[in-house]
Amino acid sequence: MCTHPKSSWKELTPAQRARIWTRHLDRYLVPEIITLKGHPQGTVCATLKRYGGTLNPTFESKPWSRRLKKTSAQDDQALLQATDADTKATLYALATLSKSGY
């Protein structure tokens, strides 16, 4: 059972990131940005570090990476052909690679 309180962490919106970056470009120091925007120091520093090396930063969040499909369409087709050819094959026999690579 977890005894820690639930975190109130929230991701910055693209507008908030852009405002922090704009203040940085206007030569505001990190403590000044913190007092003006009210974000934690780590959030401001991480945002500036993230966009510091880019020429044209985009402040939109990237989509989450999804789990990759484990088999290709060619692998699926080969499995279907193998099961059609030998309907009594065990899962172990179907899982092992044949000499042709499928």
pLDDT at site 33: 92
Q: What share of the chain is helix, strand, coil (3-state, %, to 5)?
A: 50, 0, 50
Residue 59 near residue 17, CB atoms below 8 Å: yes
The pLDDT of residue 81 is above 70: yes
Percent of the chain with pLDDT over 90: 30
Residue 33 near residue 44, CB atoms below 8 Å: yes
Domain boundaries, the chain: 14-51, 69-102
Q: What is the pTM of this model?
A: 0.55
27 backbone φψ class: left, alpha, beta (φ>0; ψ -120 to 50): left
Please state, rounded to an integer, the average pLDDT across all residues of the chain: 82
The pLDDT of residue 88 is above 70: yes
pLDDT tens digit string along 11-67?
Answer: 889 999 999 999 999 999 999 999 988 889 999 999 999 888 888 888 887 777 777
